[in-house]
Amino acid sequence: MGSGQWMVEKRSGLENDSFLKEHETPSESGCLSIIVLGASGDLAKKKTFPALYHLYRQGFLHPDEVHIFGYARTRISDDELRDRIRGYLGKEAEVVSKFLQLIKYVSGSYDTEDGFQLLDKEISQHEVSKNSAEGSSRRLFYLALPPSVYPTVCRMIRKCCMNKSDHGGWTRIVIEKPFGKDLESAENLSAHIGELFEEAQLFRIDHYLGKELVQNLLVLRFANRFFLPLWNRDNISNVQIVFRENFGTEGRGGYFDEYGIIRDIIQNHLLQILCLVAMEKPVSLKPEYIRDEKVKVLQSVLPIRDEDVVLGQYEGYRDDPTVPDQSNTPTFATVVLRIHNERWEGVPFILKAGKALNSSKAEIRVQFKDVPGDIFKCQKQGRNEFVIRLQPSEAMYMKLTVKQPGLEMSTVQSELDLSYMQRYQGVPIPEAYERLILDTIRGDQQHFVRRDELKAAWEIFTPLLHRIDNGEIKPKEYQPGSRGPVEADELLAKAGYVQTHGYIWIPPTL
């Protein structure tokens, strides 16, 4: 059996689902080179190489066909790179060292041809040594680099490192966010890269799209009769999409200050989730149909009003030596978006993200309207909410009112709880990067951001971002370890969110 077939077969074994198999990309074979550009960096070490390791360990990257290359300017040997990443991989020493042997490091600059010619030579040598059937090589370039170098690096890849086979194969480019800083810069970047590569070769990664519960959203919404009649303005009062981190920008202050929380989290991760929560049912699961529906949602978002925004900056943020003393960059933001369409008119979508807060979590909170004719006088106890906890402790729970057990007829808030740790004991939840790299190898773009989607996302936020950049809107100071500025809670209440007091969902433990 050819190793390419082997990979597809492995997948079939995992997914005993004929419907999904129907949507599988055609079998692709040939030698696979994965090239991590920026291999000396933080993302490569913490996310990219570990994701590749886990794919390898699970049999998705076969040593007979795969070789991994690291490329960066830093002058280190193969072994030095291996030592840098070893500690981030896993505990199975033998598997780790076999995986590390697949990695070769090439040092070179990002803007001259020499390094890329050397890289191409190394890849070609590997292809010749491994490629049984002449040609049909696959080259996956992962840009774990600062966005400032994307244009030159893409030009160099195009010039020096493309798959040269006449017998099939491909060259694909994975680009990390941020894709630009505003509409104009993103469009320039897209135009530049678009001249070099076809859209089908470009995989703009938003790792939130690889998270288990984000991937579950479409199944949940469109495979369950429960939700179909409820998921609209008649029943839903408001939707919150929340990201919180209980640590600051430690170690990334320089990068962060240039971007801020809206560009770092809201314009991409949270907005992508909003699309999946709000979009209409696609014609089928074909990636283009799904992305078409996401674009429609984005195009229906109304311009953001100043009164629908609260910005914050945590006290001490500017003490970071890489952050300017006068920085106006928000480390916290609540932004209320409104979707002008038949399903969502009048329903606020509250996007909230912050660093250095009192907890770390990401969740979607769909709050339903009050029950009309409240004969139990239980409205004060709280509304029905459907909560999707993306992390930590992946779960979906439905907050609802029940009779308090006992002789009295009184009511209490409780929940129907699908906690993954309990329900799917022992089933490992893959890392987002693992899935997305595998999707790239398979050529499945469903969970990647299309060019028009990116443009629509920047159209929503660019006017607000420019006002912040010009210092026209100032962030409020908040204490590290707090909930963020109090004004954010006031905005939440103004948008119609009714907080339940005295009820806390506690993730079950085993």
Binding site for ligand BG6 (CB under 6 A): 207, 245, 264, 362
Check the CA dihedral 463-494-298-48 and report its sign: positive
Residue 110 found at the interface with ligand NDP (CB under 6 A): yes
In the complex, the smallest distance separating the C-beta of residue 394 from ligand BG6, rounded to whole angstroms, is 12
- The one of ligand NDP, ligand BG6, none whose footprint includes residue 264, by CB under 5 to 8 A per kind, is ligand BG6
Candidate residues 11, 57, 58, 74; the one interacting with ligand NDP per rule CB under 6 A: 74
Of all residues in the shown chain, the one whose CB is closest to ligand NDP is: 41
User: Which of the residues 54, 126, 207, 269 is marked catalytic?
Assistant: 269
Check the CA dihedral 260-266-272-275 and report its sign: negative
| Rounded Cα distance, 127 and 31, in Å | 6
| 122 or 245: CB nearest ligand BG6 | 245
Candidate residues 61, 72, 214, 310; the one interacting with ligand NDP per rule CB under 6 A: 72
In the complex, the smallest distance separating the C-beta of residue 317 from ligand BG6, rounded to whole angstroms, is 13
| 40 or 384: CB nearest ligand NDP | 40
How far from chain centre, in Å, is Cα 298?
17
Burial class of residue 493 in the structure, from the number of CB atoms within 10 Å of its CB (0-12 exposed, 13-18 middle, 19+ buried): exposed
DSSP state of 379: G
DSSP state of 420: H
Contact present, 335 and 301 (Cβ < 8 Å)? no
Would you call 269 a catalytic residue per the annotation? Answer: yes
Residue 189 found at the interface with ligand NDP (CB under 6 A): no
Residue 149 found at the interface with ligand NDP (CB under 6 A): yes
**How are beta strands 348-354 and 476-478 bridged, if at all?**
unpaired
| 183 or 356: CB nearest ligand BG6 | 356
| Rounded Cα distance, 11 and 76, in Å | 36
Contact present, 286 and 452 (Cβ < 8 Å)? no
In the complex, the smallest distance separating the C-beta of residue 76 from ligand NDP, rounded to whole angstroms, is 8
The three-class DSSP label of residue 210 is helix
| Rounded Cα distance, 239 and 301, in Å | 14
| Rounded Cα distance, 415 and 389, in Å | 14
Residue 151 found at the interface with ligand NDP (CB under 6 A): no
Residue 85 found at the interface with ligand NDP (CB under 6 A): no
In the complex, the smallest distance separating the C-beta of residue 43 from ligand NDP, rounded to whole angstroms, is 3
Candidate residues 10, 23, 73, 281; the one interacting with ligand NDP per rule CB under 6 A: 73
Residue 176 found at the interface with ligand NDP (CB under 6 A): yes
DSSP state of 146: -
Contact present, 177 and 208 (Cβ < 8 Å)? no
Contact present, 264 and 255 (Cβ < 8 Å)? no
Residue at token pair 């028009």: 452
How far from chain centre, in Å, is Cα 166?
35
| 348 or 354: CB nearest ligand BG6 | 354
Interacting span for ligand NDP (CB under 6 A) from 83-91, 141-149, 224-232, 425-433: 141-149
- The enclosing H or E element of 452 equals helix 451-469
| 264 or 308: CB nearest ligand BG6 | 264
DSSP state of 357: B
- The enclosing H or E element of 72 equals strand 66-72
| 41 or 194: CB nearest ligand NDP | 41
Here the tokens at position 24 are 């599988």
| 119 or 491: CB nearest ligand NDP | 119
Site string for ligand NDP, 4-43 (x = CB under 6 A): ----------------------------------x-xxxx
In the complex, the smallest distance separating the C-beta of residue 503 from ligand NDP, rounded to whole angstroms, is 34
Residue 145 found at the interface with ligand NDP (CB under 6 A): yes
- The one of ligand BG6, ligand NDP, none whose footprint includes residue 40, by CB under 5 to 8 A per kind, is ligand NDP
Catalytic residues: 269
Residues interacting with ligand NDP, by CB under 6 A? 38, 40-44, 72-74, 110, 144-149, 176-178
